[in-house]
Amino acid sequence: MEPMYEDGTGLLTIGALARLTGVPVKTIRNWSDQDLLPPAARTPAGYRLYGPESPARLEIVRSLRDLGIGLAAIRSVLHRERTVAETARQGADALDAQIRALRLRRAVLRAVALRGSTPEELPHMTELARLSDRERRRIITDLVEDALGNVPAPDYRSGLLAAVPDLPDDPTPEQLDAWRELSALVRAPELRAALRRLAEYSARTTPAEDEPRPAAETAPAAQEQTAQQQAAVRVAELMRERGEAAVAAGLAPDSPAAEPVVAELVAAWIPTQAGTADPPAEDGPGARGRLLEQLETAAEPAVERYWQLLCTVTGRPAPPRWGTAGAWTTAALRAHLRPYELDRSAFASADPDRVLHACTQVIRDVGALVAAVRPEDLDLPTPCAGWTVRQLLDHMVWENLMAASVAEGTPRDDLTADHLGADHRAAFEDSARAALAVFTGSGMLHRTFGPYEAPGAMLVQQVVVELLAHGWDLARATGAPTGLAPGVAEETLAAARRIYGAAPRTEGGSFAPERPAPPGAHATDRLAAFLGRDPA
């Protein structure tokens, strides 16, 4: 080792200190210039000399630098302006921020690799990596303030602002994709307009501060609001369950059998309105109209997508999709604005053997009509408004498939898919054969379905009515005779009157108002007239 300075004071030259500690001379000189390791003295020639405590001080500086602590912070520690613990805490916080940023960059790079992003997409991905948590929150804050403006809806506003889209430390590619879509959605005028409509509805239906609150509202405000929110969530879940069950059971929203479902939902919903302006007290046209208005107001696809993306970004469970159940519930309310008692006599009138016989006869005659349809006929219009022959056939095939799936306990949800394919004859034959096989082999005719235990025989009877009515539509569209299934048409018409006699005839519903049938019309023409077709 290089000797100490030769004056006998025990001072170390910079070279001796470097050899003793393993720190390069250049580094020691730099730290000395930064006032981290001041020399104890200088030689007559001006060289630095360091005292015996310098090795220990140098180790402190090196240790803090190895941990990523900046020179200014180290100087504060050495000068007793800040403790090591404080410096370590601040250093750890800074490292946390850097780690989060690095993880986000890594996630962005992985997402770019997985997506096969184009050069044009890359700036959007890197923009995300540059945003801080505060900047991401600011995007949502700006959205809410711009969309709601001065609308007096404090609860709705605070609910939106509370849902902050904080990305996790190590986001998945799916979360990054959701954030990219969300950041584009918040700039869309459709979302802002939808949020404003919902806020305006909230402002209209929330009591003003100077309005008296209902006497039953005795709990503290925060607890009461939480309880009402929880009750609203339970009612929404009930609506979703009942709506999906009704769709699965093939229950038309404007059929009489839908009335008990509507009554149950309205009864569950009324207590959740206690904190609103002029809350309904009982089931009736006023309450049903109010609930219908709520559902129609809330049917904002952009807002639903906003919440789904927000949940994906933050890793929270996404809310259940409301589309199918919401459409059914809204249609059912629109059709049943006034309560009435369900006549269950139709439930007991379907004889399984006669129903199966009628089904076989109707499928035979309608199948012959379908087989006669030429490719050039597929674009012809039909009595079903807006449907071509092809669309009508696709619907008939889907009804067969849907009925079979209900019998098997796995209801289909692919109404909008193409069920016809390139061969309409084979598609109908296959679906009809499958339906008959399930009707006879699954015990469906002797079981009950849905929350109101509708007999399986009646559900098959509904299929018979629908097939015969649509067979009439097809015959009229193609110029074929409409006197289908003469042996069972009369009893099918009687079944339609039992099942659908009390069904509301509403705009956009299953049935138009009944038409008069000409004198001497056969049963299939009279069935078409009963269901709103013009047999003249």
Strand partners, 50: 12
In the predicted structure, residue 93 carries a pLDDT above the cut 60: yes
Across the range 241-257, mean pLDDT stands at: 79
Q: In whole angstroms, what is the distance from residue 466 CA to residue 255 CA?
A: 13
Q: Work out the angle at residue 461's Cα, subtended by the Cα atoms of residues 431 and 266, and round it to the nearest 5 degrees.
A: 105
Of 114-128, 144-158, 473-487, give the lowest mean pLDDT range: 114-128
Which residue, 112, 117, 188, 178, is CA-closest to 147? 188
Going by pLDDT thresholds of 50, 70 and 90, the confidence category of residue 218 is very low
**Model's pTM, two decimal places?**
0.52
Across the range 325-354, mean pLDDT stands at: 80
pLDDT at 368: 96
Average pLDDT for the chain: 82
Q: In whole angstroms, what is the distance from residue 232 CA to residue 130 CA?
A: 39
Distances (CA, A) of 233 to 47, 405, 533: 79, 30, 42
Q: In whole angstroms, what is the distance from residue 216 CA to residue 272 CA?
A: 12
In order of their start, the domains of the chain are 12-82 (1.10.1660.10), 131-206+228-341 (no CATH), 344-531 (1.20.120.450)
In the predicted structure, residue 464 carries a pLDDT above the cut 60: yes
Residues 6+ apart with CB under 8 A from 306: 182, 185, 186, 191
The more confident residue out of 81 and 110 is: 81
Q: pLDDT digit string (tens) for 385-403?
A: 789 999 999 999 998 998 8
Are residues 291 and 269 in contact, defined by beta-carbon separation less than 8 angstroms?
Answer: yes
In the predicted structure, residue 437 carries a pLDDT above the cut 70: yes
Centroid of chain to Cα 278 = 31
Between helices 456-478 and 523-530, what is the axis angle to 10°? 100
Are residues 416 and 394 in contact, defined by beta-carbon separation less than 8 angstroms?
Answer: no
pLDDT at 371: 96
Q: In whole angstroms, what is the distance from residue 225 CA to residue 276 CA?
A: 11
> Which H or E run includes 533?
none
Which residue, 91, 89, 79, 93, is CA-closest to 37? 79
Of 178-182, 433-437, 467-471, give the lowest mean pLDDT range: 178-182
Q: Work out the angle at residue 9's Cα, subtended by the Cα atoms of residues 8 and 15, and round it to the nearest 5 degrees.
A: 90
Going by pLDDT thresholds of 50, 70 and 90, the confidence category of residue 102 is low
Which residue, 463, 428, 423, is CA-closest to 445? 463
Q: In whole angstroms, what is the distance from residue 299 CA to residue 201 CA?
A: 13
SS3 42: strand
Q: In whole angstroms, what is the distance from residue 260 CA to residue 311 CA?
A: 34
Are residues 420 and 429 in contact, defined by beta-carbon separation less than 8 angstroms?
Answer: no
Going by pLDDT thresholds of 50, 70 and 90, the confidence category of residue 212 is very low
Break the chain down into helix, strand, coil percent, rounded to 5.
60, 0, 35
CA atoms within 13 A on the CB side of 308: 13
